[in-house]
């Protein structure tokens, strides 16, 4: 059974915002020190989402491949910057930004195009109503997986540099010397999505499914879309994490298979 969409008024959003302000007040009273960050994050949420809403309305009205591709490129570049910013020890120079960006391009874009062309099949295939939300979900989750895995890899190499160099001195290849660290890094990037799939529908209702149900989509149709999206996100995150860890671990060594931690900063 479906119903009409219940439109939210400005007052509704103001009441929800007042609850966030109240939470900031509790933080101030309890001397938690997060009230300023909380209010700034809330303000950014409002501004950023309103701007995105205006952009998407314009994009939907002018659905051309050029504008959809441009929007996707902007999303990719911002996600690449976020991956770089989350690193405790990131690669110096272009690699600090380019590594995560390249891994997300190889994974998220390829999975998104495959899903649009072969599975969802909107007409045209780049219809922004489907392409932009799908790419956004893929990029967001892949970004988290890559950020976690690369951070785990570089920090592990830094902490175990003496062990790695000892193994290299014993004749191990660079790949063998970091095999354990690389495995742990890859797992750390993929486990959040595995946990999300395991808990979906029992512990939590995923965001896309909840949004569709609230907008009047039949529950079973929302469930089918959510299963598809979660599988696609998991594949995109897995491929992106594997690619990022492989690129990053190779970057830690030079052509003579020497550990080069000076490439980190």
**pLDDT tens digits along 13-48:** 999 999 999 999 999 998 888 889 999 999 999 998
Average pLDDT over residues 115-128: 91
pLDDT band at 200 (very low <50, low <70, confident <90, very high): confident
Cα atoms in the Cβ-side hemisphere of radius 13 Å centred on 4: 3
pLDDT band at 177 (very low <50, low <70, confident <90, very high): very high
Residue 204's pLDDT is what?
Answer: 67
Average pLDDT over residues 144-172: 94
Using CA atoms, how far residue 94 sits from 97, 101, 227, 243, 263, in Å, is 6, 11, 37, 17, 11
pLDDT band at 4 (very low <50, low <70, confident <90, very high): low
H-state helical runs in the chain = 10-29, 35-61, 65-85, 94-104, 110-114, 128-159, 161-169, 174-177, 179-199, 207-214, 219-251
pLDDT band at 56 (very low <50, low <70, confident <90, very high): confident
Res 216 pLDDT > 60: yes
| Calpha distance 187→145 (Å, rounded) | 9
Res 116 pLDDT > 90: yes
Res 3 pLDDT > 60: no
Mean confidence (pLDDT) of the chain: 89
Res 1 pLDDT > 50: no
Higher-pLDDT residue of 7 and 134 is 134
Residue extents of the structural domains in the chain: 1-61, 63-263
| Calpha distance 235→119 (Å, rounded) | 15
Residue with tokens 């600090």: 96
Higher-pLDDT residue of 197 and 146 is 146
Cβ neighbour number for residue 134 with a 10 Å cutoff:
25
| Torsions phi, psi for 70 (to 5 deg) | -65, -45
Percent of the chain exceeding pLDDT 90 equals 60
Res 190 pLDDT > 90: yes
Residue 222's pLDDT is what?
Answer: 84
Torsion of CA 88, 92, 97, 101, to 10 degrees: -90
What is the model's pTM? 0.84
């Amino acid at each position: 059974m479906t119903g009409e969409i219940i439109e939210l008024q400005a007052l509704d959003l103001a009441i929800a915002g007042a609850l966030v302000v109240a939470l900031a007040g509790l933080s101030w009273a309890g001397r938690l020190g997060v009230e300023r960050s909380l209010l700034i994050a809330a303000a950014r949420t409002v501004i950023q989402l309103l701007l995105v809403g205006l952009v998407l309305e314009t994009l939907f009205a002018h659905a051309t491949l050029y504008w959809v591709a441009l929007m996707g490129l902007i999303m990719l570049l911002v996600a690449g910057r976020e991956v770089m910013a989350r690193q405790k020890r990131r690669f110096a120079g272009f690699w600090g930004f380019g590594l995560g960006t390249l891994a997300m391009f190889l994974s998220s874009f390829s999975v998104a195009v495959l899903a649009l062309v072969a599975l969802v099949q909107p007409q045209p295939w780049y219809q922004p109503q489907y392409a932009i939300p799908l790419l956004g979900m893929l990029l967001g989750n892949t970004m988290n997986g890559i950020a976690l895995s690369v951070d785990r890899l570089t920090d592990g190499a830094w902490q175990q540099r003496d062990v790695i160099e000892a193994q290299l001195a014993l004749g191990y290849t660079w790949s063998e010397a970091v095999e354990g660290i690389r495995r742990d890094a890859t797992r750390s990037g993929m486990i959040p999505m595995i946990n999300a799939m395991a808990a979906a529908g029992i512990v939590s209702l995923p965001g896309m499914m909840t949004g569709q149900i609230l907008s009047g989509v039949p529950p079973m149709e929302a469930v089918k879309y959510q299963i598809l999206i979660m599988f696609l996100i998991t594949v995109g995150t897995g491929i992106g994490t594997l690619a990022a860890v492989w690129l990053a671990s190779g970057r830690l060594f030079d052509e003579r298979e020497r550990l080069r931690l000076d490439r980190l900063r």
